[in-house]
Structure 1
Amino acid sequence: MMKKLHGMGALLLSALAILTFTAVSSAATLPDDVQAIVKRGELRVGVKSDVPGFSMQDLSGNYAGMEVDLAKKLAEAMGLKADDVTFTAVTAKTRGQLLDTGDIDMVLATFTITEERKNIWNFSSPYYTDAVSLLVKKNSGISGYADLVSKRIGVAEGSTSKDALIKAAKENGVTLTDTNNIQTFPDYPSIKAALDAGQVQAFCVDGSILSGYLDPSTEILTSVRFAPQEYGVATKLSNKGLAGFVEEQIKGWLSDGSIDKIIAKNGVTPSFKK
């Protein structure tokens, strides 16, 4: 009996040694900048706090949404736990700054990929594609670009929506200008409040974001959709290893349907197909 117990103990120790060796070997294959995150025991991620379906912070300080779930999945792919993610609320204006200073490791915050931005930060393949639209009051009389000439349109600081709107209007024979038609705000709730107060007559941003601000008095214009917006995971330009790791995961999850399931789980409109 003692021999059997001794033999079982030896087998258990051998199995434990194999598992430990496998875990160490797996961790050792991660890029240095990813290993640094694992060693710290915390993945720091910048997310929005005010975008329903993507990332919303509740009164208890907790975050929920598809980008939150995606961040947790990335942490687990590193060998961390989902609870090892620390979220920081960012805006279109602050997200890049916080990446550059190293306060956060990555951004998942409806961050549109552009050629200009790719010179400043690393971006993964897009995990979601949207298009810009307008949220207006149902009684606004706005049905197309021509109706915007004498109107004020609210956009978020640091977003790409303003330039995209002016370009799309021009392509439709309508001239809009920064001075006469555009008003910037620090965040999306501020734009919605301005719309309700009549300070602006339209709220311009990606359609999926606008859907979170719909109420019985408003509508999203299906006649005004332009500039497809591809959202990617952004990392600091110098963190090439982390960027490569993230890209590998995102491409795999796009291929196997994991990201589609996360989108559906959070009630987000399916990714726009160009």
Structure 2
Amino acid sequence: MKSTRVALAAFAAVGALTLTACSTADPGETDDTGNTGGEEMTDEGDGGADAGEGLRIGIKFDQPGLGFQDGGDYTGFDVDVALYVTEQLGYSADQIEFVEAPSAQRETMLQNGQVDMIFATYSITDERDEAVDFAGPYFVAGQDLLIRSEDEGTITGPESLDGLDLCSVSGSTSAQRVVDEYAAGANLIEQPGYSECIQFLTGGQVDAVTTDDIILAGLAAAEGSGALQVVGSPFSEENYGVGLPDGSDMCEDINAAIQAMIDDGSWEAAVEANTEGTGYTPNAELNPPEMRGCAS
């Protein structure tokens, strides 16, 4: 596991690499006072962090547009939210250490104190909520389809995939959901990662790729030619939360920081910057998200 202290990275489009979406079978997504929360945070045993020591933040390293490592730079929407939130909590960018947080290891990393919080397309579920705490959500994603722009109007949602080829990663539950619930005649094509699915889509071997909509938008933005677009008809709901150690006292401050990001326009700007050129817009019925309450 590699981690590097970083400054706030500029928005950048990057090449699509293999990633595992939160929808795979492997687990795994206010005030304006500038409250730092530094005096209220307790030591590690109380589930808090000391503002003088810095923070270890778990992110994905291989999700273009969300959490991506390129040398010493870290880019993506999750990264932008993490940096905004931690600044509101009183931490400067050079106090943040980004740590790779693979989907299957996120609960363990929080429980073992390897990270202080996680921003990594970490969907809030009842099962996970028993093991760790969550603040947020900071985004509500939905399963969607990525298609070639030339097929706009022909492929309009999962119901239109009968007889067509659909790609997703091996072991993913998202492609099977399409067949089970929407298009029994769709042909499933499994690949080791989404980079392979993107190559198949641009090469014409498949007609669509499926996973969470904002992940698809990040992949399309990284591809960069404008040849791919998200259909924009999500058919699930994934609440991306900030993962915290069980018993953390930071939830309320994090929720306030996320709300401040929404209120001052930074949240919308971050979404747009990381999905530019894809035609993607978040589901307006669900986004910007409403903060859920923090457990007492």
TM over 0.5: same fold? yes
Match of 1:175 in 2: 184
Partner of 1:154: 167
What residue identity is the alignment partner of 1:232?
A: G
Q: Which fold has the larger relative contact order, with Cα–Cα distance below 8 Å and residues 6 or more apart in sequence? A: 2
Name the residue aligned to 1:127.
138
Q: Does the C-alpha gap of structure 1 residues 181 and 263 become closer, same or farther in structure 2, counting only changes over 3 Å?
A: closer
In structure 2, list runs of 5 or more residues that go unmatched. Answer: 1-35, 286-296
Q: CA RMSD in A?
A: 3.7
Q: Where does residue 231 of structure 1 map in the other structure?
A: 240
Deviation at 1:135, TM superposition (A): 1.5
2: distance between equivalents of 1:96 and 1:182? 30
Identity of aligned residues (%): 27
- Give the Cα separation in 1 of the matches to 2:204 and 2:143: 21
Q: Deviations for 1:89-139, whole angstroms, at most 9, x for unmatched residues?
A: 334334344333332222112222233433333222221223321123467
Name which of 244, 249, 263 aligns with 1:241: 249
Kindly indicate whether residue 209 of structure 2 is the aligned counterpart of residue 203 of structure 1: yes
User: 2:198 aligned with 1:192, yes or no?
Assistant: yes
| More off after superposition, 130-139 vs 224-233 | 130-139
Seen in structure 2, the aligned counterparts of structure 1 residues 26 and 94 have a Cα distance that, compared at 3 Å, is: closer
* CA radius of gyration, larger in: 1
- 2:43 and 2:171 map into 1 onto residues whose CA distance is 32
| 1:44 paired residue number | 56
Counterpart Cα distance in 2 of 1:197 and 1:120: 42
Return the offset for 1:160: 6.5
Higher helix share: 1
Partner in structure 1 of residue 29 of structure 2? none
Aligned to 1:86, the other structure's residue is in SS state: strand
Structure 1: where are the runs of 5+ without partners?
1-24
**Deviation of the 1:62 alpha carbon:** 1.0
Q: TM-score, normalised by structure 1?
A: 0.68
Q: 1:261 to 1:192 in 2, by over 3 A?
A: closer
Q: Tell whether the 8 Å contact from 1:127 to 1:250 is kept in structure 2 after alignment.
A: yes
Structure 1 residues 34-183: aligned runs within 5 Å: 37-38=49-50, 41-58=53-70, 60-137=71-148, 142-151=155-164, 153-156=166-169, 161-162=174-175, 165=178, 168-169=181-182, 174-175=183-184, 181=188, 183=190
Relative to 1, partners in 2 of residues 1:218 and 1:203: Cα closer, same or farther, differing over 3 Å? same
Report the alpha carbon displacement of residue 195 of structure 1 after superposing the two structures with TM. 3.9
CA contact (8 A) 1:31 1:245 kept: no
* 2:40 paired residue number: 29
Q: Is the 8 A contact 2:135 2:255 kept in 1?
A: yes
Q: How many angstroms apart in 2 are the aligned matches of 1:61 and 1:73?
A: 19
What secondary structure does 2:137 align onto? Answer: coil
| Number of aligned residues | 240
Normalising by structure 2, what TM-score? Answer: 0.64
